[in-house]
Amino acid sequence: MDPLNYLWIAWLVLVFVFVIVELLSLDLMFLMLAVGSLAGLGASALGWAWWVQIIVASGVSLLLVLGIRPVLLRALRRGGDPTPSNVAALIGIEGRVVSEVNDMGGMVKLSNGETWTARRGPARGSAISVAATVIREGDRVVVTAIEGSTAVVTAAENNVLPSDFPSERNTPYA
Contacts of 54 (CB under 8 A, 6+ apart): 40
pLDDT in tens, 91-143: 999 999 999 998 888 999 999 999 999 999 886 554 545 445 789 999 999 99
- Helix and strand numbers, DSSP H then E, in the chain: 4, 5
Do residues 144 and 154 touch, judged by C-beta distance below 8 A? yes
Which helix (H) or strand (E) segment holds residue 84: the answer is none
pLDDT in tens, 42-101: 999 999 999 999 999 999 999 999 999 999 999 888 877 777 778 888 999 999 999 999
Contacts of 15 (CB under 8 A, 6+ apart): 34, 37, 38, 41
Do residues 152 and 101 touch, judged by C-beta distance below 8 A? no
* Residue 28 confidence (pLDDT): 95
* Residue 86 confidence (pLDDT): 82
Domains in the chain and their CATH numbers? 3-77 (no CATH), 86-168 (2.40.50.140)
Q: Which of 59, 66, 69 is nearest to 38 (CA)?
A: 59
